[in-house]
Amino acid sequence: MIDLVTTSGGKIGPVFFSDLLGSALRNLFTGTLTFRVQGGEATIYFREGAPVLAGGTGLTNDKLGDLLVLRRVCAKSAIDEAVAEQAGQAGGDPEKRPLLGELLVKKGIVRQAQIVDECIQHQTTRRVTRMFGLAGGQWSAKAANDPMAKRAGVAIDGWALLLPSIKAFATEDELRELTDQLLGKAVHLKAKPQVLDRLNPDPVDREVFRLIEQPRKADQIERAIKNRKAVRAALKAVLSTGIAELVPVKLAQPIKEVINVVAPTTAPSAAPAWAVSQPQVASAQSSPEPRREEQKREEKREEPRREEPRSEEPKRDGPEPRRHFIPPSPEDKPREEPRRPAPATTIEKLKPKEAPPKENPVVKEIKELHEKLGDLNYFELLGLEQTTQDKDIRVAFTNLSKKFHPDALGAVAADVGQMARTVQAKLNEAYAAISNPERRKEYTAALKAGRTQLDEQSEQKAKAAKVKYDMATVMFKKRDFKKAKEILNTAISMDKKNAHFKGFMAWIQFNDPENDREAAIADARETLNEALEQTPADAELQYWLGLVHKTAGEHDRALGAFKLALHYDPNHVEAGREVRLEETRKKREREESAESSGLGGKLSKLLKR
C-alpha cells in the first residue's frame, strides 16, 4: 500500500493512479501529484485528500474558457481577450499570472463566481477521471500547501469518483498486478458501512462488500457473483483506500451461495444488505419480509399433510422436530408421489427480457461523419455551399458544435468520445478557414485546384500571426504603443492578407499621442476604410472607424459606423453605448434648435410693432 507522505515518486506500473488517489483519500493528503507522460506534464492538486484542481501541458481537454462558452455564459471572443490579457499580465512569471476565472468575474464577463467554481469542478472531475487510464510514465508527490490549489482550487468528491473510474478505465496491467497481489491472500473488510457508501457502490459492489465482512478469497467471490471485472474493481477500491486488508488465505471462509445480482429498478433500501446482521441465504434475493410471510403460510398449508403418520412408521417420543430441517431418509424418497420441483424464483427468471438499448442517433451521426472526414471539404463538413453568406457560416458552425461537442454527449464509450473530439477539432478548423474572407478566398482557390485542405505551412503561419496579434493587443492596452506596433508588424509579415491586422495598426497609430493628431485621424480613416472594403463584416473595425469619425466631429458618419458594428455583432457593448450617446446628442441638438427658433420668432414680432 503506497504512502504519499513517505514516498516521493516512482513509475506508473507497479503503482497505478487508483493506488495514488486511494492513498490521498486515506491520508487526507495535501499537496500535488505530478505525472510526466508522453505529451506533457499533468498535475493534480489535493487539499485534505480531495482533488481541487488539475492542469498542465498534458491536460489540454476541458479548458475553463471552453466550458464557460459551452454553458453560454460568455462569448468566445471575450474568453480570447481575457486569455491574452492574462498572458500579458503574467509577463513570463507564472506566479504573477492572474486566474482566468477571477479575471472574467472582475471584468464583469461572468457575473457569478459560483458558475466559475462549477466549471472548475467539472473540469477537475473529467481530468482526474482520465488519469485512471495511465499505463506508463513517471509520477512524483509533493506534500505541501501549494499556492495554486489555495487560489484556484474547488474540491470534488474523490471517494465517489474512485470506484466507477476503476471500472471504466482500469488497464489490463493494473488488474494483473492486483491478481498477483491477491495470490495466497484473503480479503477482509474493516470499514464501517458509512465509509463504503462514499464509494458510490452499485448492487454488485454491495454484495462484494457484504461477502468480505468475513475473510474471503478473490476467486471464491468471483465464482459466487459471476462478474470477475466488477469484483476486481471493488476489491481494488477498498484495498487502495485501506478500508480492507489482506490476511493469510488460511483464514478465508467458504462461500456457499451463488449470487445473481441485477441493477434495481426502484430506489434501493435505506439499509444496505451488508449493513444488516443476518444469516447467509441460498441466493442473492435475500427474501424480504413479505416473502418470509408467504413461506410461513406455505408451511401451514403443508403441515397437515406432513403430520399424517406414514404406514409402518412407529411414533416417536418427545416433541415433534422441525421437519423442514430434517434430511430425508431412504424411506422418505417419493415413489408414487413425485417430489415437486422448487418454484423458479431466481431474479434471472423473474426479470423480463429487455430489448437491446437503441444507439443514440447523435452517436450514430458522429460515427458516420468520422468515417467521411477525409473525403469532405470544409463547406461540405459544415453543410454549406461555397456561396453561403458569412452570417450563415457562423450559425451552421454553432449548431454543429452544440450537437457534436464531446461534453454535450454525456457518458459514452471511450472510442466515441475520441471520435467526437476529432470531429469537433475538424469543425473548428473548417470554421477558421472559411469565416475569414481572405482565407476563404484562398481555400476556394485551393478547392478549384483539387485540394480540400489549406496549405499546412500557411495554416501554421496564420496561427503564429494570431498569437502575435494577441500579444500586440495586450501591449496596446498597457499603452505601450511602440512595443505593440513592433509585435503587430511581425504578425502582418506572417499574414499579409489579414485586413484586420492592418486596421488594428491604424488604430494604434491613431491612439499614439506622439503622432500628429490631424495626420493620425486622416491616416486612420483611410486605412480603416480600405480594410473594411475587404472585411465589411468586421464589427471591431467598424467600431474603430466610428470613433475616428467622432473625434473628427463627423457625428453622422460615426453613428452609421457604430450601427454597422452593432449589426454585425449585436453583443458589441461599446458600439451599443456609442449609438445611444450619439442618438441622445442628436435629440438634444434638435430640442435646442427648436427652442432657439421659437424665441427668434417672438423677437421678430416685437420688432415689427
For the chain, domain boundaries: 9-156, 164-262, 376-448, 470-591
DSSP 403-459: HH-GGGS-S--HHHHHHHHHHHHHHHHHHHHHSSHHHHHHHHHHHHTT-SS--HHHH
Our CA dihedral for 174, 176, 178, 182, rounded to 10 degrees, sits at: 180
Tell how strand 138-142 and strand 185-189 pair up: unpaired
**C-alpha span between 486 and 493 (Å, rounded):** 11
d(CA 190, CA 188): 6
H or E stretch covering 360: none
- 3-state secondary structure string across 532-545: HHHCCCCHHHHHHH
Q: Tell me the three cell numbers of residue 539.
A: 464589427
Helix (H) or strand (E) holding 36: strand 31-37
Give me the residue label for grid cell 475569414.
436
User: What pLDDT shows up at residue 543?
Assistant: 92
Name the residue among 332, 189, 334 with its Cα closest to residue 272.
Answer: 189
- Comparing CA positions, the residue from 131, 130, 75, 65 lying closest to residue 100 is 65
Instruction: Report pLDDT for 51.
Output: 92
555-568 and 539-551 helices, crossing angle to 10°: 170
pLDDT at res. 589: 82
Phi, psi of 59, rounded to the nearest 5 degrees: -125, 90
Those residues of the chain that have pLDDT short of 50 are 263-292, 294, 297-337, 342, 344-351, 454, 605, 608
- Yes or no: say if 26 and 242 are a contact pair by the CB < 8 Å rule: yes
pLDDT at 215: 92
Starting at the edge strand found earlier in the chain, the sheet holding 9-11 runs 9-11, 138-142, 31-37, 40-47, 50-55
Domain at 470-591: CATH code: 1.25.40.10
DSSP designation for 552: T
Residue-level pLDDT at 49: 85
What architecture does CATH give domain 376-448?
Answer: Orthogonal Bundle (1.10)
* Rounded Cα gap, residues 122 and 79, in angstroms: 18
H or E element at residue 12: none
CA contacts within 13 A on the Cβ side of 29: 27
Residues in the chain: 609
Per DSSP, helices labelled H in 478-554 are: 481-494, 499-511, 517-534, 539-551
Instruction: Calculate the alpha carbon distances from 564 to 207, 539, 558, 572, 577 in Å.
Output: 67, 7, 10, 11, 13
Cα–chain center distance at 416? 15
Predicted pLDDT of residue 303: 46
Q: Which of 396, 367, 362 is nearest to 379 (CA)?
A: 396
Record the pTM. Answer: 0.44
